[in-house]
A and B are shown apart, each in its own frame.
Chain A
Amino acid sequence: MFDIISKTKYAYIFSITLTVLSVISLFVWGLKFGIDFTGGTLAEVQFANSVPTNQELEDTLKDLGLKSLTLQPTANNSVLIRYASEDDKINQEVSQKISGSYPGAKELRADFINSSVSQELKKNSLWAIIIAILGIMAYIAWAFRKVSRPVESWKYGLGAVIALVHDVLITIGVFAVLGHFAGIEVGVPFIAALLTILGFSVHDTIVVYDRTRENLLRSSAKEQFPEIVNRSLNETLVRSINTSLTVLLTLLAIYIFGGETIRDFSLALLVGVFFGTYSSIFIATALLVTSYKFQIAKK
């Protein structure tokens, strides 16, 4: 039996450090938004022969006066072309210029989002996350309504949510770093990943809470709350680790073998699930004990 609860101090330090670092990198670098949130055009053009250099392409497209043009060569003889755009007309012009100058060039992929749509996506994403967090909090408070002693049931909800927010913040922080150093962009799929992480992290946390609840109901008066929690943790430890392991394994399979269009998405999930497990084991329950101790200290 591991004495996890007494080590919560270290867990708190670790988590708070990471969270603070994440928030800082978010403010300093911000997330690198893809066209989903900035609007604009992203096209992947495959060239028939050799790939023209970025300078060549820039010259070809010079007359069109493209704003925020970035060019990124990628696999399969292709180049990712990004530029700001409001109207589809400019896309037609770019298409024509390219197929005119480079016969045989194929447009593998072309995404265009104008700013009204991207504003909407930004708004919807934010709302989605807020609603998800509130919804989950409500659900947990309800599911654990019968265990109001010694810690009120809404505190279970709060504990789970804090663990949640911690997971999401760290994931976002990781992507702020990656965005700055590796140019990895964040779009609607990233939001989908965050919401999935929300769901998964809570799932995990609930299993531990559930065990705690069961042990509480069964416990004798002698056992202290922290001890019950610790025991519950130990009992669910193997299961938590195994489940996360299986999910991480499947995510790794996607990351390594899936197409590149889905790579960043699976990376976000990997980071989130990993921290989700960590927080369920070390943070969520620790919060319960901490609030219990506050209550005792107040009396």
Chain B
Amino acid sequence: MNIHQKTRIKFASVILLGVLAGLVAYPQAVSKIPPVFNALNKLKINLGLDLQGGIHLEYKADTSQIDGGKVDDAMQALQDVIERRVNAFGVAEPVVYTTKTGSDRRLVVELAGVKDINQAKEMIKATPFLEFKEEGPDQQIPQDVLDKFNADAKKKAEGILKKALAVGSDFSALAKENSEDPGSKDKGGDLDFVKKGAFVPEFDKVLFDPSFKDGAVWTQLVETQFGWHIIKKIEQRGDGDNLEIHSAHILIAKKTNPATAQKNYVSTGLTGKNLKNAAVEFQNQGLSEPQVALQFDSEGTKLFADLTKKNLQKTIAIYLDGQIVSAPRVQAEITNGQAVITGNFTVDEAKLLVRNLNEGALPVPINLISQQSVEASLGQISLQKSLKAGLIGLLVVMLFMIIYYRFLGIIASVALLIYAALMVSIFKLSAFSPWQITLTLPGIAGFILSIGMAVDANILIFERTKEEIRRGRHILGAVEEGFKRAWTSIRDGNVSSIITSLILINMGTGFVKGFAVTLVIGVLVSMFTAVVITRTILRFVMGEWIEDKLWLIGVDKSKIKNQNAK
């Protein structure tokens, strides 16, 4: 492959890259092609809290009461508790983590898009509710009552079937009046088009039976686990695997006891406020079954004694924040306020339960030391303004380049557009990598700044190239030389920017970090753009034809030495 072909291929690849990056960055361009648009539109840039609104809370954890070795566990427990509470807010992606600063332990909570900031703060610090409940009366219905009920239901269904099979019957009216399927009753029992396998086997067998004609009602009741169905086939479409049938049905439900008996638990008045401590213990000093040892306070001891006496051999459910955490079986009446919960725990399960139980208060007391909150509308305004600024900045720079460098300026502008598209694409695609980039307001500033700096590489190359042309060098040679000479400056200069950015990333908090990260990425991508993209375009586009049109790139012909040499 000769040089020209290589250059052409590289040029084509650059254009392709540019188009791809542009599509990822701005999917609206292909909004007319739904499948591509939908796939691309799913990629979103992860916006920082200052652009989408939200809060960043930092708490100092008081670990003074906890001995050294247990601190890590305690912090982990704290994180778990807070994470659980925070998940209840319904915020899209809550972020909770612990950090170490010097000798301090901190807890950080970030919630994007939270509406009520103060309420959120309240809930984080609130105490979880621990309850002990005992079994209530059984919810099971006696079998003979069930049987009678279902027999009556079947008779009712038969009656309706007769009506449905009668000539001139209005199926949908019958359905509206009698069907016990809430999902389809109001639509006249309409179940829309479905493929085979959508319904339970008994229903399916009838529905897809080849002898079942369009518009007909199946002459017999169809019994499934839900009850008795009267099925009408309306129409069908497609064939083979794509066969879909449009049907309607009337359901007369039958009653059963649930497969697993659900215990009904009632409150006992014994709650977490009565628990003094919980710990993991091992039976028989070995590594055999772990169990959880509980210690109640005096009131709790009394309550617990009553509770256990009443419920020997029955289960007592332990609820945390309204959810059952464990339902161990009571082995004996307990009067000393000490209890042991056994029952097939693994060591981890036992540890988890102990942790949960000890969280009558939070495992570690926390104190708010820093907060940054931005209301969503303010975030939105900041986002719009900064995007506008970015666009204007980009346009102004492009204008300047074209005015001063003329033809080369156009090349630079194209490279700049590709650079911008690449950056946006990287932001969006970073969601698939372990280091997702969060774009904050300073981050956008960093991005805009990097646009100005990205141009620098191009300017270096152009100035050098022009200089080489003035020295009398042949056009393509000038381009190569210009690039080679400019590269060391580009590299060294950018390294210093990268050094300062890395320091910023290290020391910075969330907002400043965003700035530094975008700057670093911007510098790296701009180096790539200069080395690969600008150079390729230059190589492809520049050629002999420029020789007599040097005004296009701003070189004064009279200033060239050795006009005869080529």
Report whether B504 and A249 are in contact in the complex, using a CB–CB cutoff of 8 Å.
no
Q: Which of B439-495 contact A (CB under 8 A)?
A: 441-442, 444-445, 448-449, 451-453, 455-456, 459-460, 463, 467, 485, 488-489, 492-495
Interface residues as binary, B485-525 with A (CB distance below 8 Å gives 1, 0 otherwise): 10011001111111111011011110110011001000000
Kindly state whether residue B378 has any CB partner on chain A within 8 Å: yes
> Is B50 a contact partner of A261 (Cβ separation < 8 A)?
yes
How far, in whole Å, are A61 and B377 apart by their CA atoms in the complex? Answer: 26
Q: Name which of A1-9, A23-31, A102-110 contacts chain B.
A: A102-110
Residues of B within 8 A of A238 (CB): 463
Separation in Å of the B104 CB from the closest CB of chain A?
A: 8
Is A262 an interface residue, CB under 8 A from the partner? yes
Task: Name the residue of chain A whose CB is nearest to the CB of B514.
Answer: A192
The stretch that binds B, out of A62-70, A113-121, A169-177, A221-229, is A113-121
11 interchain pairs (CB within 8 A)? A87-B367, A88-B371, A116-B60, A128-B503, A188-B511, A192-B442, A203-B496, A214-B485, A250-B449, A259-B382, A262-B445
The distance in angstroms between the C-alpha atoms of A256 and B389, with both chains bound, is 8
Segment of A10-18, A131-139, A282-290 in the binding face: A131-139
A207, B519: Cα distance in complex, Å:
20
* Shortest distance between the CB of A247 and any CB in chain B (Å): 4
Is the C-beta of B542 less than 8 angstroms from some C-beta in chain A? no
Chain B residues whose C-beta falls within 8 Å of the C-beta of A199 in the assembled complex: 496-501
Q: Please determine whether A139 and B371 come into contact, CB atoms closer than 8 angstroms.
A: no
Please indicate the chain B residues that have their CB under 8 angstroms from the CB of A207 in the complex. Answer: 460, 489, 493
Which of these binds chain A: B301-309, B354-362, B396-404? B396-404
Q: How far is the CB of A155 from the nearest CB of chain B, in Å?
A: 17
- Chain B interface, >50% SS class: helix
With A189-B512, A254-B389, A259-B381 in contact, is A210–B488 under 8 Å at CB? yes
Give me 18 other A-B pairs in contact (C-beta within 8 A), A107-B375, A112-B372, A210-B489 excluded.
Answer: A44-B378, A108-B375, A109-B378, A110-B371, A111-B372, A114-B369, A132-B499, A192-B508, A195-B501, A196-B500, A199-B497, A203-B493, A206-B496, A239-B463, A242-B459, A253-B392, A258-B389, A259-B441
Interface digits, B379-405 against A, CB 8 Å rule (1 contact, 0 not)?
001100110111011101100110010
Residues of A within 8 A of B444 (CB): 258
Q: How far is A118 from B494 in the complex, measured between Cα atoms in Å?
A: 32
Q: Is A186 an interface position by the 8 A CB rule?
A: no
Contact B442 A246 (CB under 8 A): no
A244 to chain B, nearest CB (A): 9
A265 at interface, CB cutoff 8 A = yes
B→A interface (CB under 8 Å):
50, 58, 60, 101-102, 104, 117-118, 121, 367-375, 377-378, 381-382, 385-386, 388-390, 392-394, 396-397, 400-401, 404, 441-442, 444-445, 448-449, 451-453, 455-456, 459-460, 463, 467, 485, 488-489, 492-501, 503-504, 506-509, 511-512, 515-516, 519
Q: How far is the CA of A245 from the CA of B453 in the complex (A)?
A: 10
Chain A neighbourhood of B386, CB < 8 A: 254, 257-259, 262
Number of interface residues of A (CB under 8 A): 71
A185 close to B (CB within 8 Å): no
Q: Which 7 A-B pairs have the closest CB atoms?
A: A247-B452, A253-B393, A199-B500, A203-B493, A257-B389, A250-B393, A250-B452
The listed residue (A87, A91, A189, A251) touching B452 by CB distance below 8 A is A251
Contact A253 B377 (CB under 8 A): no
Asked if B448 and A259 make an inter-chain contact with CB atoms under 8 angstroms apart, the answer reads no
Query: Contact at B118–A200, with CB atoms within 8 Å?
Result: no
| Shortest distance from the beta carbon of B522 to any chain A beta carbon, whole Å | 11
A152 at the interface (CB under 8 A from B): no
Chain B residue nearest to A109 in the complex (CB)? B374
* Distance (whole angstroms) from the CB of A223 to the closest CB of chain B: 17
B368 to A88, Cβ gap below 8 A? yes
List residues of chain A with CB within 8 A of the CB of B58. Answer: 117
Q: Are B504 and A247 in contact (CB under 8 A)?
A: no
Q: Pick from B488, B496, B512, B516: contact of A202, CB below 8 A.
A: B496
Q: Which of A106, A107, A195 has most chain B Cβ within 10 Å? A: A195
CB contacts (< 8 Å) of A153 on chain B: these are none
Q: Which residues of A contact B498 (CB under 8 A)?
A: 199
Q: Which residues of A contact B501 (CB under 8 A)?
A: 195, 199
> Contact at A136–B500, with CB atoms within 8 Å?
yes
B467 contact set on A, CB distance < 8 A: 235
Interface presence of A291 (CB below 8 A): no
Residues of A close to B394: CB separation below 8 A: 250
**Residue in B367, B449, B455 whose CB lies within 8 Å of A243:** B455
Q: Nearest chain-A residue to B461 (Cβ)? A: A239
Q: Once the chains are docked, how many angstroms separate the CA of A195 from the CA of B515?
A: 11
Partner of A136 from B373, B452, B499 at Cβ < 8 Å: B499
Q: Are A198's CB and B500's CB within 8 A?
A: yes
Contacts of A251 in B (CB 8 A): 448-449, 452
Instruction: Return B120 CB to nearest CB of chain A, in Å.
Output: 12
For residue A260, give the distance in angstroms from its CB to the closest CB of chain B. 9
Q: Closest Cβ of chain A: how far from B51's Cβ, in Å?
A: 10
Q: Is the Cβ of B371 less than 8 Å from the Cβ of A111?
A: yes
- Asked if B368 and A262 sit within 8 Å, CB to CB, the answer is no
